[in-house]
Structure 1
Amino acid sequence: MRLTLCPFVLALLAAAPAGGVTAHLVKDINTTAFSAGSGPAGYVAVGGLAYFSADDSLTGRELWRTDGTAAGTFEVVDACPGACAGSPRSVATNGRSYFFLASSGTGEDLWVTGGSPASTVRLTQGLSFPGVTEGIWNLWVESQGLLYFAAGDGAHGRELWRTDGTPAGTFQVADVRPGPQGSDPGDLTLFNGRLYFRADDGRQGPSLWTSDGTAGGTRLVSDPLPGSAKHPGPVYLRAVGPTLFFVAPVRRLGFQLWKSDGTAHGTVPLTNLRFSPDAPFLDVTSLGNRLLFLAADPVHGQELWASDGTPGGTRPLTNLPRPDAFFAGPQSPYYRLQLPSEPLSGRLLFRANDGPHGLELWTTDGTPQGTHLLQDLCPGSCDGALSDLAVAGSRAFFTGNDV
């Protein structure tokens, strides 16, 4: 079996400019004899710079930056002074500044930098942040110069916080659940100029909340199961055009797709199907004004669905006979689409197995008619599209097999 990294270009896209780019070493960061290198990782581009973590063998793994030149490649801050590792974790950017978590040796702190040691400031001390296993991408969101995030200070538990990039402008927005347990906000999402998120005030259970960044402007929007304080809360919040989508339970039906216009009256279930309780919704993403997601019900099995925010416009896009049509492989216990992070020329690419063609590359425009096999890379039932599907510019890249 031959594995190759395959760039696939849709026919409607213009050809890339001719000519190649010569790779060269920018800087030898770890100059220790016989070292395995500095192990640069976690690149994030912000305003003409790339931030990454590296270990120069002197100050441990810390935050570095580069502008592509040797002189412009240097350590930004030694968050954990000495040889201990700050182990920075990227959290957000506003296009100018870069926010990251780094350890000082006694715990993680939130930092911000403009790319130089002089512009690097520690914003918090003594707060607890979500761990790596909890995920951080849906717990940080930037809006109009402010960064919202979930953190706990011990006395209040994990609550909603905000920062303007200064220590004085970093504080808890609201104490939704007084006491050390906290409301545990998650799925932070911007919609119609406000922040929406999941939180548990200890009375309604996990519910949909909203905030304008002030304590007085933080309020409950909707409780999916009134009268029950113990139930799964809204997950997969996604703002798509004029609609805020999320997944939440409905009494006697289990998890369903909901929509909201930001008001209690306008927050209602979109579906009333018997979705699988094991993995009812996966790989939620958007394409134009449609929400795309993977779901399983007794009628259709595991299929790719789309919703335009109406019950009639919420329907499956695929009708594949195999129950494992979206299986990601033996390394994953779930059926996963592994959608690329962004559309390619108004379409989304995904991997699926219809049986006769094996696991191959498919494409969709968000309609059943526009969803189809793109190319049978490995003719017959062998698998052609294997993993690592990503979009970069006008091309999609993936690890493929053509024999």
Structure 2
Amino acid sequence: MTRSVRWMLGAILVLVMGLVAAPAVAAPPEPYRVATGLEGGTSAAHVAIGDRIFWVNHGSSGTSSNDSELWTSDGTSEGTHEFFDPNPGGRGLVGSLLKFGSGFVFTATGPAGGAEVWYSDGTTEGTEMIADLTVDDAGSTWLLEAGPGAVYLAADDGAHGRELYRWTGPGAAPQLLDVNPTARMTSDEELQDQWRTDWTDSSPVALGMVGDAFVFTADQTIRTADVSEWGDHYVATSGTGRELWRVGPTGPPQLVKDISQTDAWGDPSPQESTPFAERTGTAVMGGSLYFLLDSTEPGVAEPEMWRTNGVSEGTVKVAHLPLAYLDDQWDFEPAVAGGRLFYRAWSGDWDGMWATDGTGAGQRVSPAGDATDPVTLGSGVVFGLEQDDTGREPWFSGGTSSVRLGDLRAGAAGAHPFPITTWGSHAYFGANGGSGRDLYRTDGTPAGTERVMDLPNAAGAVLDGPMVFYGAEGLLYFVNSPDDDRNVGNELWAFDPNRAVTATSTVLRAPATVAYGAAATVTIAVTGAGGPPTGTVTIRDGQRVLGTAELANGAATFALPRNLALGDHVLTATYSGDAQFSSSTSAPVTVRVKAATRLGGRVNDLTFLTTERIRVTATLRTTPAINATGRLQLLVDGRVRATATLAARHRNTLTLVSPPLARGRHRLQVVFSQSPNAMDARTGVVTITVYR
């Protein structure tokens, strides 16, 4: 009688460890990763005290996506942490950071609601509310400006309306500077029903600083109760309407100029308000502040640029400007350099970068196209400019012409340089050179435009890279998004061009072969004189970022993803550096992922004659399912009696034939090996008997 026997055993995984060390790197100073895992949106609002920065993080407390806190960093991982939460355990808001003296001021909203202004000297003990100025039902206190010797606020104390306040520093009380003396309520009973409490608001709006003078707009439409000669009760108006004002660290506010004194029909109207353009930028050049008005001329749509030196005679209209109107405001964020004011223009279409010496609208100084807002660098400005053939690339203008700083990403896609900030002698920006958004800088020349660092971000990401820059005395910080999710897992980096660093060596150890779906880890060791180095390492599969790991005593482990595709993976580990140690990258280590296997065998009988051949059919099962190739061997009592090559056409099943065996009991086993795409495997052992 003939019987068929099957047997199977799980594959044995053979992991051969590869060891390759990267040579020590003596590179120029480059950015280093300070902290990882920053959650929530990151604000550009920041201040610096020496090399320590303070910035606003939104949604970082884990209590609310609308929450925000004040964070700080000194350039070390240990010194990077939340600094101030106005409402621990609940929803709080922080914003409007401004440097003042040796500290800074900011607004914060706590559990009682309504923002108030706080001052900090950079320490927890030295952080306190200036004063509770705004009553609970009157909204929030506004932080308008911080200038030499004073901070300027707007608040409603419940009696005087929203008015200007001045605060001169710790130990002083905010001083009310009442621009609009209209009473909050009239004693005239016949007018009380029509009297509005907001008539007492001057609602100051900041324009900027001219020297130590704060220039602002305020509504001085004064309303009083009066009785006509016929005995009629009415509301009389006087004052100037909304006009241009100034105030310094001492003394009362002063009207700079009543710009609008006639109505739309040209008739005298002293209370006519000037139509100051809302939410637009301003700039100071040559001791004068430049600002915008909506057009005051009938039939003219373009806004008017004015300038003021803080006195009436020096307050004049300059010109109508060719600007775009976006999101209910004029698109005007000018920059000043080399005695010129730069702005991006619109003349029926995007019209590139314009420059003026302050006597007119100026002229276009770049090719036409969609320009980004200019950023001052030395005697010129850096900006992005989009053109059909090159896409958006970085440009520089000195005020008469412009030069493209580089075609960082060839083709119409463009590198899209943003954000751009000036720090020291260079402008720094994020840009996509074709392999993700990295850190670049320029000195304003094509030859001086270079990539500072290839950031270890996710391959294929388009929203990665630097999001905001924070300039400090000796460090330039930036928040890096390692992938397309800009609200989760962000990183703080720091750049010190004068940093004296110790070279490091990074060694990556990884298994040479890994079964698909199996757990496997790599180990990283970073060494340097005077170590161990601190910080993080980034593990890449080619250009793809697999993840990061934190160093502990100069070492880290990282679990490889179980779903790595079949085939060879060239892994590297990059150490990001820290304040003491330079970055370094290991030499590549190749890890081959093969299909996981199970090998089964079937022998045609368990008893044979000494004249019969023994046939064993081997079947290989793989995960994922592939047609494996390799070598099959039939072992009899541990010795090879038959060998066959498994080809893809065999579809993982092949029969091996052994010559007749001597009389007695024999142990059979099939072994699979030498496969480029599947793990080694072997069956269990079956015993057969051979008779005469």
> Superposition pairs for residues 4-403 of structure 1, below 5 Å?
11=28, 36=90, 41-55=95-109, 57=111, 61-67=115-121, 72-81=126-135, 83-84=136-137, 87-104=140-157, 108-116=162-170, 118-123=172-177, 124-125=179-180, 126-129=201-204, 139-153=206-220, 158-165=242-249, 168-176=252-260, 178-179=262-263, 180=272, 182-185=274-277, 186-203=280-297, 205-224=302-321, 235-249=332-346, 255-264=351-360, 268-271=362-365, 273-275=367-369, 280-311=370-401, 314-319=402-407, 320-321=409-410, 323=412, 325=414, 337-340=418-421, 342-343=422-423, 345-355=424-434, 357-378=435-456, 381-383=459-461, 385-392=465-472, 393-401=474-482, 402=538, 403=545
Kept in 2: contact 1:363–1:372 (CA 8 A): yes
Provide the C-alpha distance between the structure 2 equivalents of 1:253 and 1:70, rounded to a whole number of angstroms: 51
- Per the TM alignment, residue 20 of structure 1 is displaced from its structure 2 partner at its CA by 8.5
Provide the C-alpha distance between the structure 2 equivalents of 1:365 and 1:295, rounded to a whole number of angstroms: 17
SS in 1 for 2:343: strand
- Per the TM alignment, residue 117 of structure 1 is displaced from its structure 2 partner at its CA by 6.6
TM-score (structure 2 length as normaliser): 0.45
Alpha carbons of structure 1 residues 11 and 212: separation in structure 2 relative to 1, 3 Å:
same
Alpha carbons of structure 1 residues 247 and 385: separation in structure 2 relative to 1, 3 Å:
closer
Kept in 2: contact 1:188–1:197 (CA 8 A): yes
Provide the C-alpha distance between the structure 1 equivalents of 2:158 and 2:290, rounded to a whole number of angstroms: 34
SS in 2 for 1:283: coil
> What letter is aligned with 1:270?
R
- Per the TM alignment, residue 120 of structure 1 is displaced from its structure 2 partner at its CA by 0.9
Q: Deviations over 1:198-226 (max 9, x none)?
A: 2245125413322222223222223357x
Q: Deviations over 1:367-396 (max 9, x none)?
A: 222223222223784446253333333233
> What letter is aligned with 2:154?
L
> What letter is aligned with 2:478?
F
- Per the TM alignment, residue 315 of structure 1 is displaced from its structure 2 partner at its CA by 2.3
SS in 1 for 2:107: strand
Structure 2: segments with no counterpart, 5+ residues? 1-26, 33-50, 52-73, 181-200, 222-238, 264-271, 323-328, 483-537, 539-544, 546-692
- Per the TM alignment, residue 105 of structure 1 is displaced from its structure 2 partner at its CA by 5.5
Alpha carbons of structure 1 residues 235 and 283: separation in structure 2 relative to 1, 3 Å:
closer
Alpha carbons of structure 1 residues 181 and 169: separation in structure 2 relative to 1, 3 Å:
closer
- Per the TM alignment, residue 306 of structure 1 is displaced from its structure 2 partner at its CA by 1.1
> What letter is aligned with 2:429?
F
> What letter is aligned with 1:385?
G
Provide the C-alpha distance between the structure 2 equivalents of 1:375 and 1:25, rounded to a whole number of angstroms: 28
SS in 1 for 2:134: coil
Q: Deviations over 1:82-122 (max 9, x none)?
A: x4475333332223211233344696433221234743112
Provide the C-alpha distance between the structure 2 equivalents of 1:25 and 1:368, rounded to a whole number of angstroms: 40
> What letter is aligned with 2:314?
G
Q: Deviations over 1:172-220 (max 9, x none)?
A: 5331474445231553321112222222451254133222222232222
SS in 1 for 2:155: strand
Alpha carbons of structure 1 residues 152 and 273: separation in structure 2 relative to 1, 3 Å:
farther
Provide the C-alpha distance between the structure 2 equivalents of 1:22 and 1:365, rounded to a whole number of angstroms: 31
Higher RCO, Cα 8 Å, sep 6+: 2
SS in 2 for 1:77: coil
> What letter is aligned with 1:359?
R
- Per the TM alignment, residue 240 of structure 1 is displaced from its structure 2 partner at its CA by 0.4
- Per the TM alignment, residue 366 of structure 1 is displaced from its structure 2 partner at its CA by 1.4
Kept in 2: contact 1:283–1:293 (CA 8 A): yes
Alpha carbons of structure 1 residues 310 and 69: separation in structure 2 relative to 1, 3 Å:
closer
Matched pairs, number: 356
Kept in 2: contact 1:348–1:363 (CA 8 A): yes
> What letter is aligned with 1:346?
S
- Per the TM alignment, residue 260 of structure 1 is displaced from its structure 2 partner at its CA by 2.2
Identity in percent: 24
Q: Deviations over 1:135-189 (max 9, x none)?
A: xxxx521122211123444576654322224573243533147444523155332
Structure that is richer in strand per residue: 2
Kept in 1: contact 2:217–2:245 (CA 8 A): yes
Provide the C-alpha distance between the structure 2 equivalents of 1:158 and 1:395, rounded to a whole number of angstroms: 41
Provide the C-alpha distance between the structure 2 equivalents of 1:129 and 1:400, rounded to a whole number of angstroms: 38
Structure 1: segments with no counterpart, 5+ residues? 1-9, 131-138, 226-231, 328-335
Provide the C-alpha distance between the structure 2 equivalents of 1:255 and 1:378, rounded to a whole number of angstroms: 36
Provide the C-alpha distance between the structure 2 equivalents of 1:152 and 1:326, rounded to a whole number of angstroms: 46
TM-score (structure 1 length as normaliser): 0.72
